[in-house]
Structure 1
């Protein structure tokens, strides 16, 4: 998928705004496609084998509070690949620490041509926060644009205040990571550029020295001819 750096301003705006489907209350019980191969929804969707198969789901990321383990759990392990994360839905819960394994799981599904469903109990706070972080990094959006992009597809999401703060923090983290990844290439290009400049300078110096030697040889040769002519006279 294109990153925002590869998009025009209109394409970026269209991506964030989404399809613009009319939202109804019943849709909060369904899942919505956020990116190709990435769905977000509530527990109800994960309980229906027929529904999951109709969406072509292959991987399910089940995010739950430990107290919900009796209901929010893998239900069809013979049909789908699961990952379960126990996450407290309170403002002190560290999402950033848990996100890398969630991202890896979603990436595995999408890279294999599959489809991942990310869900929690209500699909309101926990699972949307992880999906916003994924969209932010995958597409290269600010935390606000990523939040709006997910919200424009699943209108009922509402991450708690602590999660919103972490979304802001994660924007700086993922951008710094990208900058660090790009630094060796930038450094290598700078070294190569300096080497070319040094080689050019060395070539120019050698050419100057060669011209000086030619000039000196010519002057010496002309001087010898003058002396011979003087002797003949």
Structure 2
């Protein structure tokens, strides 16, 4: 799904066009807990923004601009790349506190990245771990029920695990297992559990299999978004 959006430049100088094409199934809007929403860029449009009237928008990317249609809505751009060596840890505490403050006052927060799979999911997992759930594992299980296709990259998982240990003061609830087939050679054990569930249900009929895979996708195939021309004017600064 491709959406055309226009952003207001912070100066009168017209900025270069930017384009994105993202699978709508990955990008769709999901409410994880009351007041906290996550999506990819393909879900963002004026109708959606008017319907949900967000109090705060977190853009967890470096490549996606803030859009004109955001109007006066407070927002922040984290300038994160979806790479194994990207440092996201220092955003966890600050953004979690900001999300909690807004939700506690009855507001709504939108966290987005390009696909709604890795960067935005990591920020949401940090919030859920700090304020909603007893552990990172419980946070992931909650998110997986609401949004099965989330898959933070390995570097983000390592930082999420450290964040859990730091704020909870307990041993990590998620273990990284050796798996040479994965980028970075490690795999969070929560993915292995989901894969096992799929294997145990391999005897169901073909239609049931299809439905099960949609609902319990373990994310074994890394999502690679496709970028292609799409007219847009971006802000000079985020």
TM-score w.r.t. the length of structure 1 is: 0.58
Q: Which residue does the alignment assign to 1:104? A: 97
Q: 1:72 to 1:123 in 2, by over 3 A?
A: farther
- The reply to whether residue 95 of structure 1 matches residue 88 of structure 2 is yes
1:142-221 alignment, distance < 5 Å:
142-176=135-169
**Hey, what does 1:55 align to over in structure 2?**
52
Match of 1:133 in 2: 126
Cα distance between partner residues in 2 of 1:162 and 1:156 = 18
1:28 match: 26
Among candidates 114, 136, 141, match of residue 121 of structure 1: 114
Q: CA RMSD in A?
A: 2.0
Name whichever structure is richer in helix by fraction.
1
Aligned match of 2:65 in 72, 88, 108? 72
Structure 2, unmatched stretches of 5+, are 1-22, 171-238
TM-score by length of 2: 0.57
Deviating runs (4+, > 4 A) in structure 1?
A: none
> Unaligned regions of 5+ residues in structure 1, if any?
1-24, 178-233
Whether the 8 Å contact between 2:24 and 2:42 is mirrored in structure 1 is no
Provide closer, same or farther for how the CA distance between residues 26 and 78 of structure 1 changes in structure 2, counting only shifts above 3 A: closer
